[in-house]
Amino acid sequence: MSKVASDYIIKKIKSSSRITLGLATGGTPEGTYKHLINDHRRNGTSYKHVTTVNLDEYVGLSGNHQNSYQYYMRTNLFDHIDINQDHAHLPKGDAIDIEMECKRYEELIENIGGVDLQLLGIGKNGHIGFNEPGTSFQSKTHVVTLASSTREANARYFDRPDDVPTQAITMGIGTIVKSKEILLLIAGESKKEAFKKLIENDVDESFPASILKKHHNVKIIVDEKAALSLEKGKIPISVI
Ligand code: PGA
| pLDDT reported for residue 202 | 95
| Percent helix, strand and coil across the chain, each to the nearest 5 | 40, 15, 45
Output the CA 122–ligand 1 centroid distance in Å: 6
Which of 56, 101, 106, 116 is labelled catalytic? 56
Which residues have any ligand 1 atom within 6 Å of their CB? Answer: 26-28, 121-123, 127
Q: What is the mean pLDDT of each run of 10 residues along the chain (240 residues)?
A: 97 96 98 98 98 98 97 98 98 98 98 98 97 97 95 95 97 98 96 94 97 96 87 56
| pLDDT reported for residue 228 | 80
| pLDDT reported for residue 33 | 98
Output the CA 191–ligand 1 centroid distance in Å: 9
| pLDDT reported for residue 230 | 74
- Predicted model pTM: 0.95
Beta bridge partners, 22, equal 53, 118
Beta bridge partners, 144, equal 168
Give me the residue spans of the domains in the chain: 2-234
CA angle at 219 for the pair 213 and 224, rounded to the nearest 5°: 105
Assess if CATH 3.40.50.1360 describes domain 2-234: yes
40 is catalytic: no
For residue 83, what are the contacts with CB-CB under 8 A and spacing of at least 6? 47, 48, 50, 52, 77
| pLDDT reported for residue 240 | 45
Please give the number of the atom of ligand 1 that sits closest to the Cα of 24.
Answer: 9
57 is catalytic: no
